[in-house]
Structure 1
């Protein structure tokens, strides 16, 4: 139901209207005949408070005015006007079904109504009690939004109805009084690649012109899906706000002989002018819709990836602490206290010394100079060390500028949950090259590392079952969120799915691996990550990953010119990103390096481990050709034949498939496979990305508006990437995604614990004002001030969304849509499960 609407006063053909088309705060509201201008367009936005909405005027671009009860007065007859957003009770509205019409009740307890029974242009809009007739409104979509509707004839208060609740193919249609049953509910589904829709009855079949006949007077019934023109309908908005439903055959949906009685049959006719061919789409107000935001991309167990020596700190007492990361512990151990879980990071990140026998200068240099480059608490020595002190003071980390310290401690996840988080995709992640060059411990291979993380995530969620639970199906997700908990979805984001890069797998091998992962609870899959694998090519966007590609496959990326002008990134032919760092580290005195090599004195450069790493990071002469490839660069590899079969198998299993990190060629082919699945295609995910444009070009790691539109038409979902983003930048990115996806709600993709920074705060916030009535996050002796530090840990995502909501220019609308993303995720998953049976074998 959230979306853009004209709000019609039911007692007369008049609409909620901003007087005089005046955008100023305080302008009163009236009813007026429909003119279709922006002063009659309203955007309904889910509020963070369950059951309430903000209603924003669309009167001017960039003008942020909301439906508001003047002075927050509860007295009957109080004028209603537009006002700057403040999020108070005077701007919160419940939208309730009242025997076929809607009533709008403010949080103050009064109702939106007209001032008198005159029903003429210019009558003022005020608040009052629920007075019959004067509080009845309807919503008419400005733009058709995929969803479920009642379809009302323009002739009378009758609705499109499947005869006698029939579900058999060929059951005729009629008009009937509104009863609200499944035979009167219709799902509008975009046709992939076309400006038309399938219209599916909740009885299970589709609106269809009998025999595909173009002759006027042909009966319309429900029929099994076939995707033909007899089942494709254009939705044409008429000047009076109604719509005409035009079959792809050229005829219109019509009430036979313009009769208005119950039981009148429905057929086709020529032209849209007659009232019998006018219909209203009434969005179904569902009290069962989920409320809360969805994060499509997190890594709570990443401390167990990358050789278990990259991310420091574990997410709770009971989590596995890797060997050599807590006072040089000789073996993996379970955290028994928060001091052990979040203690100092010297063992993990520091250099070798007599006080730190498990330290590693090479690892410290690679982490500090290659990955954690922006951390503000560095000490400035040659290996780039940083301050290590941990709990209870936590003076240095977690921090918004550091990506190698734990940011998902369990109570920080709980704080995000308290701020509305209701769906969280938890992904196992790994990179074998990083695990090798930082001298990590087993398991370093993707399959075993992912297995360990999945097992530990299941145990972690079990320890916090008071507020979270793993969802293994869309029905699970609905139950969990409806019960007031956080639904966690398990997924894998690894380079070498099934370790297949070292073998020659068959489809049966891939199918067995997918079944194995499914049996472990995995429902969300990245077929491709940052390196090419047996399924297809990866997106090229960072030179560092070319070393990983060579390490995993034996060769650097194969590059081609981009056909899309918004792809401007060029890969380097000789970017040895670690050379100056390793040159410096090689001279650090290191007594254990006294080996067989000739050295004037023991230094790291004499250590055989250093020499092996140095060899791994040498530039490859095969990349010299990159300089001769014109334009922006993309990976020349798309999906392999095995990859195409694997993607189809994932669809047949009803898995959620994420396109992020695919090369553009792999991505487009995956979309083509999804579009071929009937009816309406298979939904796909893009969990942590953004839209590139001519003004803000990028690499194939982001997506074009055209690709996003195709995913939107499939019923897919995007998580807007929020790495190191400001609230103003996030609003811009979110709105761009919302528009490109055809008005589909997006979630967020934080990439928390995934080597990406969490969002920044708006500069120069007043902490006293920001935290008035809003508590700060505290752990041990540490209290975080988001206004000064930004999103230092995952719990401060609540603060970030508060910052976004308070931004002028649509911040509240973005947060309102974000709080609909738990429902959007559930619907996308349900669609995947429904389409699974139609996927290719």
Structure 2
């Protein structure tokens, strides 16, 4: 048969097949009946919002995540927006979220045999619960731009690094489900603490152009990462999984009634540490009596408490935010810990750690955590740089950040065995060399560290320890294997620690040369503390030595090198923990180079520090003597001396919170130490010093905080501390030097950088 127009014939033949072909085509790619996508933000902009989660898969088409039939699982069975489960998206990091449903369950993914299961879990487990720093929660999901649709998203499972699909998790990006987040209602807010304040912080300067705000120049946000990270110090300033994991009941590590909190037992109750007290603890791994109540979030029965419970967190990020709202604009965050105290707790089997007790291991974890905190606050605020806290590495950065109305965080290190430069190196370590010290200084400078203490509690390769008496004497013996070297031939310079009686008199056997072979081998202390100390029992039990004793030794040549190299880098030397001889030597070195420093414990040595452009930390007096404004006396005296010595007329705070140093007590009630009748307690509401923020009575989980009778139990009560002074009659003009302390610290830092340029020529 001849066809006149073959092309027309094919069209006629195929026309009836077109609808069938279209249906087959649609079936082959899934039915794309997706709702119109709302304007999609960045992967960071969904924090704390309420969303229905649309999941598109080539095979299954459009589905929504919803509760499964068994109620303990999630499924992709909802076919309409209206039947989808609403999720609160709680940021655990930048772009990473917890998916939290209205009944307070989490969307998680775990593998059961060869099958992926999307469990609906009410309570999460953390790395701290497992004492496994590598553990990642199966409830965290990272939001990414979809590989297949740039206007929508995909979800990466944080724990496994695999992508969400309707059939489970997959390694193949091209098979990842396409995610659309639709705003909805019906969510339950994620648990969190309140700031109990209203108002907005706006950029503010003094009339002369100086930055506005308080500097707190000695703090320890991350002490929980010291001491092996297991829970010797309990509570974190934040946690990826939220407040219930940052500030949980401390019985997990401290045991029932806090009996395994050995450090707290001795620090908080001023118990004498001797062999008689150690023996029952070593036998049972716990103290022999009730120690403290353990309840954390949301009850907070006994902690936080800066002046009563030293081994518990007092600077949770929401408390820090409240202090920021009250005028705190610069903080120096020191990584800290104490390997000997950590080893002691392990030795008596009171607690376990998550990683090594080594001081520098603690430092590295603390620095990592500081950057993670910055990200976490950014994540809650909607993206990188949007939070109220920024880590700064130059004085210019600090000035810029504060002028934006934010808070600058400066990183420092306060640790005994700085850079692993031991006086008596343990197995696996060698004595530090000048080249190693320079290399370590370079390394930590690159990590953002700008402040260092050359020495802390114990003798190290840079200097004799700070001379702190009591348990620290025994700790120094355990740490180095050396006896104490206290003598009465003292320089006489004022220090906070190196003075007075020697408590462990039998352990004091001064040596002529500082760096000699240690007479005691403490390498077996962790395995058997009693056996390690047994040969020295008579020395340990000997009576104290009364008199004006001080450390015999000062800076080592390596210590002089450290300070010199710090000056060349424009870093800030904190001289607060140098013993008398080392402090005197450090002053000579600083004065020779006209270089400023900080001394965040104790006084300014008659203004000697101020003359260099340096700073000490001050306080607001806690008791009124009846004369209006008397609670500002210490601040006024410090500022007057600074001004007399030519320094900038301002003074910073130096609480040393989370550093076993206590905090401001109450003026009223049974816990007050005031000797005269106190009047004019705090009442609410009150306005901040700047007038921008109004504070109401602080809520701590389920209970109200009474500052008048409890004191500054955490950093978030800094606004109350300032208002308390104002109620006493301290004028805003008298408080101005405190709110100029951020400017003073920046000027100190600027001088350090300027001198570094000259010294490096």
| TM-score of the superposed pair, with normalisation by structure 1 | 0.53
Structure 1 Cα separation of the partners of residues 206 and 330 of structure 2: 22
Matched, 1:734 2:654: no
- 1:405 maps to 312
In structure 1, which of residues 563, 570, 573 is the aligned counterpart of residue 504 of structure 2?
Answer: 573
Q: Which has the higher contact order (CA 8 A, sep 6+)?
A: 2
Structure 2 Cα separation of the partners of residues 392 and 351 of structure 1: 18
Matched, 1:496 2:496: no
- 1:564 maps to 492
Structure 2 Cα separation of the partners of residues 665 and 783 of structure 1: 48
Q: CA contact under 8 A between 1:428 and 1:494: conserved in structure 2?
A: yes
Equivalent residues in 2 for 1:591-670, closer than 5 Å? 611-612=528-529, 615-616=532-533, 631-670=547-586
- 1:673 maps to 589
Equivalent residues in 2 for 1:137-176, closer than 5 Å? none
In the TM superposition, residue 498 of structure 1 has moved relative to its aligned partner by: 0.9
Deviations 1:406-434 (A, max 9, x none): 11111100000001000000010011111
Matched, 1:834 2:759: no
- 2:703 maps to 782
Deviations 1:176-206 (A, max 9, x none): xxxxxxxxxxxxxxxxxxxxxxxxxxxxxxx
Task: Evaluate the alpha carbon distance shift between residue 623 and residue 343 of structure 1 in structure 2; reply closer, same or farther with a 3 A threshold.
Answer: closer
- 1:384 maps to 290
Structure 1 Cα separation of the partners of residues 624 and 404 of structure 2: 31
In the TM superposition, residue 807 of structure 1 has moved relative to its aligned partner by: 2.6
Structure 2 Cα separation of the partners of residues 551 and 719 of structure 1: 31
- 1:508 maps to 435
Task: Evaluate the alpha carbon distance shift between residue 348 and residue 721 of structure 1 in structure 2; reply closer, same or farther with a 3 A threshold.
Answer: farther
Instruction: Give the secondary structure class of the aligned counterpart of 2:335.
Output: strand
In structure 2, which of residues 739, 743, 757 is the aligned counterpart of residue 819 of structure 1?
Answer: 739
Structure 2 Cα separation of the partners of residues 627 and 395 of structure 1: 38
In the TM superposition, residue 780 of structure 1 has moved relative to its aligned partner by: 2.6
Q: Unaligned regions of 5+ residues in structure 2, if any?
A: 1-204, 272-285, 347-351, 379-386, 508-524, 669-677, 688-694
Q: CA contact under 8 A between 2:215 and 2:652: conserved in structure 1?
A: yes
Q: CA contact under 8 A between 2:343 and 2:526: conserved in structure 1?
A: no
In structure 1, which of residues 336, 342, 346 is the aligned counterpart of residue 251 of structure 2?
Answer: 346
In the TM superposition, residue 340 of structure 1 has moved relative to its aligned partner by: 2.0
In the TM superposition, residue 621 of structure 1 has moved relative to its aligned partner by: 6.1
Instruction: Give the secondary structure class of the aligned counterpart of 1:741.
Output: helix
Structural RMSD (CA): 3.2
Count of residue pairs the alignment pairs up: 477
Task: Evaluate the alpha carbon distance shift between residue 806 and residue 721 of structure 1 in structure 2; reply closer, same or farther with a 3 A threshold.
Answer: closer
Structure 1 Cα separation of the partners of residues 486 and 539 of structure 2: 11
Instruction: Give the secondary structure class of the aligned counterpart of 1:438.
Output: helix
Structure 2 Cα separation of the partners of residues 814 and 613 of structure 1: 55
Task: Evaluate the alpha carbon distance shift between residue 483 and residue 456 of structure 1 in structure 2; reply closer, same or farther with a 3 A threshold.
Answer: same
- 1:749 maps to 654
Matched, 1:713 2:611: yes
Q: Unaligned regions of 5+ residues in structure 1, if any?
A: 1-283, 319-335, 353-358, 577-607, 692-702
Equivalent residues in 2 for 1:538-557, closer than 5 Å? 538-557=465-484
Structure 1 Cα separation of the partners of residues 247 and 541 of structure 2: 45
Instruction: Give the secondary structure class of the aligned counterpart of 2:421.
Output: helix
Higher mean C-alpha displacement, 383-392 vs 647-656: 383-392
Task: Evaluate the alpha carbon distance shift between residue 523 and residue 790 of structure 1 in structure 2; reply closer, same or farther with a 3 A threshold.
Answer: same
Structure 2 Cα separation of the partners of residues 811 and 515 of structure 1: 45
In structure 2, which of residues 217, 232, 236 is the aligned counterpart of residue 314 of structure 1?
Answer: 236
Q: CA contact under 8 A between 2:505 and 2:539: conserved in structure 1?
A: no
Task: Evaluate the alpha carbon distance shift between residue 624 and residue 635 of structure 1 in structure 2; reply closer, same or farther with a 3 A threshold.
Answer: farther
Q: CA contact under 8 A between 2:465 and 2:579: conserved in structure 1?
A: yes
Q: CA contact under 8 A between 2:473 and 2:504: conserved in structure 1?
A: no
Q: CA contact under 8 A between 1:556 and 1:620: conserved in structure 2?
A: no
Structure 1 Cα separation of the partners of residues 340 and 665 of structure 2: 30
